[in-house]
Structure 1
Amino acid sequence: MRRRSVIVVVCCLCVAAPVVLAGPSATAGSTASAAPDDANPCVGTMERAANGLTVVSVQGMRFGDDGGKRQARLVALGPRGQVEWVHQRDGVTWSYDVDPVDDGTLFVTGTKYRGEDKPGRTVFYKLDPETGETVWSETAPFQDTHDADLLSDTEILVANMRATANVSGNRDRLLVYNRTTDEVTWQWQFRDHYDRDADLGGNYSHDWTHVNDVDAVNETHYLASPRNFDMTVLVDRTSGDVVWELGEPNSGDVMRKQHNPVHYESENGTSTVLVADSENDRIVEYARRDGDWQRTWRVGNESSLTWPRDADRLPNGNTLVGDSSNNRVLEVTPEGEVVWEVYTPWLVYDVERVPYGDEAGGPTIADQDAEGAVNLHGDAAFDATRQERCDAALKNATRFSDLGDDDGGIVGDLLGGGDSDRTTARDDQTSHDDGWDLRQFARGLELVGVAVAVGFVVLLGAGLLFFRRYEQFEIPGED
């Protein structure tokens, strides 16, 4: 014959309490986050917090075992590497350039509709990162554009590679495209300045220059990266002249198959170029002194970086690096120390620290008295298993609000920051307001846990007294 007691109800609280303390549950606007004792698998070294969001363009291509094409996406990371949101857009198969715009939006360049009918068509769009809505979108008549700059809300500066359709030979060029009239209002063709019969570039009738980047240095000068020429060039828009070249075709000594060069100017006016020297697995900086280029800085090699494709100098003097085939983003000091490291599989292309706008403008290496070749050090050991966990976390972090032809989806506050921060954030790197820090949430839950525990003890005592007083009575109908 069994007896029943109120103590059964009390024990239910005991079972429920650990669930509450384990972490927040999913709501209508989010996905369940990792528990406080389960560190964000995407975070490596985290010596200090970043200033605001870091947005990463991920192409979605995996090499090696289980290799193949994955979904392209944008990943926004908080100051300590927490995943703020993940954006994927219907039809965009390759994600390339992403630029913060002064109005708070992001200007994105990608490739969509890859297929026999429309192979590698370029799409430009502005994304509102607060809502996940596409402000405007244009599918342009260019093939597989890797980089573009928004000159105004209507004019787009384009690095037009693989421009061989419906032309005789090659039409690789820099151009300005008016998205409202669908017209090219200015263009500069490489074939007018370089000899097609010279020993440089790729196949003239297929992918001669592979011009993968163009930046407006000012209103009249554009910096371009014809990757297959192993050089960067500065073009005067007004005269059409090549002002200078950096690099030497086919030698690979200065750079080989480079990406995303950025032009800076030292305090004394010296032109300086920071570039991801992709095929040489390093980041390099060159200063133009008395008409000659001198390498002032080098970091990384094949044992530490693998095909890096982006590098920006931050205002604090560090360099933000997209270590492409290693699927990670690094902030590196002039001495080569990694102070901020987050993984975003698979295949990083572009990375921007949002508060600093497009191509953050920090001091040159020469202005920091830090010239030389340094080794990369201080990054975390990152095994394949953890990388798989990071990829799974990013997949779980994705929720589509309206994934149609012109709309993407975002989610916020999904993964907490890394647990390996060992120093206090300095100066302007103290902001945590851009995202939810899971550890702060956990500390709040600790207080809730104390209250639950006290309540549990009181109810348990009351239950025991009740049980002792009435345990002699049998409940009718039970045996």
Structure 2
Amino acid sequence: MSPPASPTAKQESPTGITHALLALGNATYILNADGKIAWTYPAGTRDGFVLPDGNILLALSKNKDYPSGGAIEVTRDGKVVWSFKGSQAEVNTVQKLGDGRYMVTEAGAEPRILEVDRDSKVVSQTAIAAQTKNTHLQSRMSRKLPNGNYLVPQLLDKVVREYTPAGKIVWEAKTPETPAECWPFTAIRLPNGNTLSTLTHGAMVVEFDGQGKIVWQLSNADLPTPLLKDPCGAQRLANGNTVITSYGQGKPGEVKMLEVTPDKKLVWTLRDDRKHGIHEFQILDEKGKPATDLK
């Protein structure tokens, strides 16, 4: 869809790093590496991807048309080519799978992972063993792994778990007890087998090994100024750097995203004039397409 007049976005890097990216949250848009908005969608979103064919896959926040949340695939001109309507409290994750299916997660009285076909028919479901007192804090950026299992960050349970399609837990990593509210939001299985996770109110980003032990972490103590405030989305780049959204940095002019090297050197930031933060994102290459070597 044609972008309207938009807030100014400013990328800063001592080494000249710039990124194109898909931003998700209260505002949904594609930002070019030159800081200009290339595409927008008029709905709040929770998760999403630019697909290899150029379409955009989005998990929708609750709205008039999707009162329980949902997921859609749209073309660049806004045409919906696939959709799914949630049936519980929220739809928090969407991922397009290689076999023509889509994976979504539903929060509610029965938290679950669903696989849905092109006709929006549910073809499989896996129960998530999460608390049900606070459905909003059940799970977030879940992903299907190459081995067929699902990696699920469970916020209020303070644990990242790997489930088989039958719902068996085969791996888990518990988040630290301190600082308070280390709620895992993003969970990414890295090529080395470790798992990267953001810890929201704990203002940390951690990497767990195969035994669930933290082998790398980033906190505000590692940065020249406190920039981590409710870190939500994250992405590990092919060069080993980690890009993070600081969702709680919601005021105009604050740093909404940052990039650090493996040794925790700050090498890139993104500021804009919006009155809210970025919930989740996808780094794109210079042509606005998904960078296939990024995880």
Identity %: 16
Matches within 5 A, 1:119-138: 120-129=67-76, 131-138=77-84
Matches within 5 A, 1:251-290: 251-252=177-178, 256-266=182-192, 271-288=193-210
How many angstroms apart in 1 are the aligned matches of 2:137 and 2:258?
29
How many angstroms apart in 1 are the aligned matches of 2:218 and 2:152?
21
Letter matched to residue 50 of structure 1: T
Q: CA deviation at 1:111?
A: 2.5
**CA, structure 1 residues 247+253, in 2 after alignment: closer, same or farther (shift >3 Å)?**
farther
How many angstroms apart in 2 are the aligned matches of 1:256 and 1:54?
27
How many angstroms apart in 2 are the aligned matches of 1:154 and 1:345?
37
**CA, structure 1 residues 300+279, in 2 after alignment: closer, same or farther (shift >3 Å)?**
same
> Residue 279 of structure 1 aligns to a residue in which SS?
helix
Matches within 5 A, 1:37-436: 41-47=8-14, 48-50=16-18, 53-59=20-26, 73-88=27-42, 92=43, 94-113=44-63, 120-129=67-76, 131-152=77-98, 154-162=100-108, 164=109, 171-180=110-119, 182-191=120-129, 201=131, 203=133, 207=135, 210-237=138-165, 240-247=167-174, 251-252=177-178, 256-266=182-192, 271-288=193-210, 291-300=211-220, 303-327=226-250, 328-334=256-262, 335-343=264-272, 344-355=274-285, 357=290, 361=294
Per residue, is there more helix in 1 or in 2? 1
Contact 2:106–2:113, Cα closer than 8 Å, also in 1: yes
**CA, structure 1 residues 133+202, in 2 after alignment: closer, same or farther (shift >3 Å)?**
closer
**CA, structure 1 residues 149+359, in 2 after alignment: closer, same or farther (shift >3 Å)?**
farther
How many angstroms apart in 1 are the aligned matches of 2:238 and 2:257?
17
How many angstroms apart in 1 are the aligned matches of 2:158 and 2:293?
24
Q: CA deviation at 1:308?
A: 0.9
* TM value normalised by structure 1: 0.52
Q: CA deviation at 1:349?
A: 0.7
Q: CA deviation at 1:292?
A: 4.9
**CA, structure 1 residues 240+146, in 2 after alignment: closer, same or farther (shift >3 Å)?**
closer
Unaligned regions of 5+ residues in structure 2, if any?
A: 251-255
Unaligned regions of 5+ residues in structure 1, if any?
A: 1-28, 34-39, 60-72, 165-170, 195-200, 363-479
Contact 1:274–1:283, Cα closer than 8 Å, also in 2: yes
Deviations 1:24-50 (A, max 9, x none): xxxxx77679xxxxxx84315244243
Letter matched to residue 178 of structure 1: D
**CA, structure 1 residues 86+158, in 2 after alignment: closer, same or farther (shift >3 Å)?**
closer
Deviations 1:260-286 (A, max 9, x none): 1111132xxxx2111111011122222
Deviations 1:80-117 (A, max 9, x none): 323323331xxx4x311011212121100112435xxx
**CA, structure 1 residues 353+32, in 2 after alignment: closer, same or farther (shift >3 Å)?**
closer
**CA, structure 1 residues 224+254, in 2 after alignment: closer, same or farther (shift >3 Å)?**
farther
How many angstroms apart in 2 are the aligned matches of 1:230 and 1:32?
40
> Residue 159 of structure 1 aligns to a residue in which SS?
strand
Contact 1:172–1:209, Cα closer than 8 Å, also in 2: no
- Structure 2 partner of 1:368: none
Per residue, is there more strand in 1 or in 2? 2
Q: CA deviation at 1:179?
A: 4.8
**CA, structure 1 residues 279+32, in 2 after alignment: closer, same or farther (shift >3 Å)?**
closer
| Greater RCO (CA < 8 Å, at least 6 residues apart) | 1
Letter matched to residue 295 of structure 1: V
**CA, structure 1 residues 312+84, in 2 after alignment: closer, same or farther (shift >3 Å)?**
same
Letter matched to residue 84 of structure 2: E
Contact 1:317–1:333, Cα closer than 8 Å, also in 2: yes
Deviations 1:410-463 (A, max 9, x none): xxxxxxxxxxxxxxxxxxxxxxxxxxxxxxxxxxxxxxxxxxxxxxxxxxxxxx
CA RMSD, Structure 1 to Structure 2 (Å): 3.1
The number of equivalent residue pairs is 280
How many angstroms apart in 2 are the aligned matches of 1:95 and 1:208?
14
How many angstroms apart in 2 are the aligned matches of 1:265 and 1:209?
28
**CA, structure 1 residues 360+125, in 2 after alignment: closer, same or farther (shift >3 Å)?**
farther
Q: Which segment drifts farther, 250-259 or 209-218? A: 250-259
**CA, structure 1 residues 222+292, in 2 after alignment: closer, same or farther (shift >3 Å)?**
closer
Q: CA deviation at 1:253?
A: 6.0
**CA, structure 1 residues 83+236, in 2 after alignment: closer, same or farther (shift >3 Å)?**
same
